[in-house]
Amino acid sequence: MLKSLVSRASSTRKILNHAQFQQQRGLHSRNKMAMEYIAKGWNALKEVDRVIDYCEPRDKRLIPHLKTAKDNFEMALEVDNTNTHARYWLSRLHLKYHVPGQCKAIGAALLVEAADMGDADAQYELGRNLRIENEGVHTDQQAFYYLEKAADQLQPDALYLLGAVYLAGDCVKKDIASALWCFYRASDKGHSGAAIACGSLLIRGYELPTSLTKFDLKNGVTSRKARRKTGEPKPNPIELAREQFENAAKLGNDLGFRWLKRLDEEEKRLLAE
């Protein structure tokens, strides 16, 4: 009797494991197909962005590309309705382009859905739009909520904008340390404007938060304590700032080159004295 029960339980587990495997394989297959549609739509939209600055936004020559993008993003959602990337890109089409069948209400709804489902780009875009298009404490707090969500995922534009919010003390308490943290992380993700902002604050004497320095928080020991124990010298703010300006210059930001030139001139002046 016992052997029979064990055998049945074993068979049931095998059936459940097989069903789970089939379900996972189906999800993977749908997700892969959805990403293929998204890639096709994104390539069509990329072609629109390549020429849109040289023609009218409603130029008929853009319509085939816009329609291709829209069709593919919609197909991606049909294949996988949980895909946040498809929702985000379809919302952009409705909100920013003169696509056939354009509806801003649909675009806004898709953007909110994608943001609430955790898409970092959608969260940034929604937060930015709430700050620009609306006024009032309620919308400011909503904007901050979505920007913070996107920044938690290290979305560079959200980090930069959130840094600016902390730096200005706009709808939150002014916090230079938090602003520096955001700018530094955004710079690390390739945001040239954030690199300039970070370098400028370092030049003015502000210090990087301890969580960003070489000796990170480990087992409750702060970086400052670790430096005292090891004799590690305090990081040179000028050199840290120079690294940020070099990052900006590598990304093609003219201000990065100007700041580097200014630092070089200041060093030459000091050596000449």
Task: Give mean pLDDT, residues 245-249.
Answer: 95
Residue 40 half-sphere exposure toward CB, CA atoms < 13 A: 14
Closest by Cα among 203, 183, 185, 204 to 194: 183
- Domains located in the chain, CATH noted: 155-273 (1.25.40.10)
Residues composing the chain? 273
**Measured distance CA(162)–CA(179) in Å, rounded:** 7
- Is the pTM higher than 0.85? The answer reads no
* 143 contacts: CB under 8 Å, gap ≥ 6: 126, 127, 128, 130, 131, 134, 171
pLDDT tier for residue 18 given thresholds of 50, 70 and 90: very low
pLDDT digits (tens, 9 = 90+) for 138-182: 678 899 999 999 999 999 999 999 999 999 988 889 999 999 999
* Confidence (pLDDT) at 46: 94
Nearest to 145 by CA among 166, 124, 160: 124
Alpha-carbon distance of 189 to 195, in angstroms, equals 10
Strands (DSSP E) found in 192-244: none
